[in-house]
Amino acid sequence: MEEEILKIKKEAVQQITAATAAELESLHIKFLGRKSLLAQLTARLRELPPAQKPLIGRLINETKRTIEQMLEEKSGALAKAEGEEFDLTLPALPQACGSLHPLTLVAEEIEEVFKNLGFVVAEGDEIEDEDHNFSALNIPLEHPSRDMFDTFYLEEGLHKKETQGRLLLRSHTSPAQIRVMRNLRPPLAVLVPGRVYRPDAVDATHSFMFHQIEGFAVDRDLRFSDLKGVLINFARKLFTAETQLRFRPSFFPFTEPSAEVDISCIICKGKGCTVCKGNGWLEVLGCGMIHPRVLQACGIDSKKWQGYAFGMGVERIAMLKFGIDDIRLFYNNHKKFLEQFNAF
């Protein structure tokens, strides 16, 4: 009898394993029903010698329990599989494909223009110290940009004027000039893209974090006309041959003479809008001839070498390039906005 029971169990295992949902019910009747083989064996227990009865009885009960459990598990597994069943003939879901951010696209395009002129690309540090961000750039201690209202400082002791080494989030990319010029000897032509930080009030053209690209060259006999030449070439390459540049005399402690450069507003074609604040021009960069004191602070003989430098706002240029009328659109990660740059 023991053998018969094991045979039934083996058969049950095979059939339940291979069963479909529809077959489970009949297998339940076949193995556990009133007319099942196990039920018949139970009826024959009487015929057994008394010593064997409890043993075989227990084996039958255990087998019933095992089969019952297997049927339950199988039915659960089949129900779950049905829920996950999918139609292979359905068309695939479209995959959303990312693309480069408009600021990255514009920065790369600007880099390309200057690389073609022989500039190399370097990287500066976003956390700077006062020496690189200000002092070595000839920005005196009393200059308003060093005020804590105009710069994000990272450490305590903001009012100790005698310390030179407070840490800060760089407020422009110009400290990279110092880092490069203290490490490499001229002739140099270098481009440094990166993020900068200022506690500016946010509006359509200002953000507290934005991107600049610093560019500078140091060589013998460099003149302001060389600077004008590379900037006009840059504007014509990035925009159109008709793009107007306006050089406004300005002041930076680290350049002399200095200028700020405006580009004719491409958004309103000079008619006046929120981007150009109604005057038809948008300031995109500051520039000038590197101040002799800056060269000297880097151990470069200012009698032998001259340099020019410029620092452009990447957001402003991207706004003009793509006709974007609010700088905040670059940062809020709206898919509808970003998707428009897939084609570029």
Q: Does 172 bind ligand FA5 (CB under 6 A)?
A: yes
Which of 294, 290, 284 has its CA nearest to residue 308? 290
Alpha carbon of residue 116 to chain centroid: 27
Q: Does 130 bind ligand FA5 (CB under 6 A)?
A: no
For ligand FA5, which is the closer residue by CB, 102 or 288? Answer: 288
Identity of the residue, 19 or 103, whose beta carbon is nearer to ligand FA5 in the bound complex: 103
Size of the site for ligand FA5 (CB under 6 A): 23
Cα–Cα distance, 344 to 340 (Å, whole number): 8
Selected from 212, 276, 298, 300, the binder of ligand FA5 by CB under 6 A is: 212
Question: Is the CB of 63 or the CB of 315 nearer to ligand FA5?
Answer: 315
Q: Check binding of 284 to ligand FA5 (CB under 6 A).
A: yes
State the Cα–Cα distance between residues 150 and 13, nearest whole angstrom: 78
Residue nearest to ligand FA5 according to CB distances in the complex: 313
Distance CA 209, CA 196 (A): 6
Query: Alpha helix (H) ranges present in the chain?
Result: 2-18, 21-32, 37-43, 53-84, 102-115, 130-133, 175-181, 224-238, 292-297, 314-322, 335-338
Other residues' Cβ atoms within 10 Å of the Cβ of residue 267: 18
| Bridge partner residues of 153 (DSSP) | 168
Minimum CB–partner distance for residue 294 and ligand FA5 (Å): 10
Give whichever of 28 and 101 is closer to ligand FA5, judged by the CB atom: 101
- Residue from 63, 133, 174, 306 that binds ligand FA5 (CB under 6 A)? 174
**Contact pattern from residue 296 through residue 315 relative to ligand FA5, giving x for each residue in contact according to CB under 6 A and a dash for the rest:** -------------xxx-x-x
Q: Which of 88, 287, 118 is nearest to 191 (CA)?
A: 118
Minimal CA–CA distance to 137: which of 326, 295, 342, 338? 295
Q: Nearer to ligand FA5 by C-beta: 54 or 199?
A: 199
Consecutive H or E run containing 192: strand 188-197
Q: How far is the CB of 249 from ligand FA5 (least distance, A)?
A: 13
Give whichever of 31 and 252 is closer to ligand FA5, judged by the CB atom.
252
- Give the closest residue to 152 by CA, choosing from 172, 124, 179: 172
**19 vs 123: CA distance, rounded Å:** 66
Report, in Å, the least distance between residue 281 CB and ligand FA5: 11
330 near ligand FA5 (CB under 6 A): no
207 scored as a contact of ligand FA5 (CB under 6 A): yes
Footprint (CB under 6 A) of ligand FA5, residues 68-127: none
The site map against ligand FA5 for 231-270 (x = CB under 6 A) is: ---------------------x--x--x------------
Measure the CA–CA gap between 294 and 138, rounded to whole angstroms: 6
| 288 near ligand FA5, rule: CB under 6 A | yes
- Kindly list the residues in this chain that would bind ligand FA5 in the complex (CB under 6 A): 172, 174, 198, 200, 206-207, 210, 212, 252, 255, 258, 283-288, 309-311, 313, 315-316
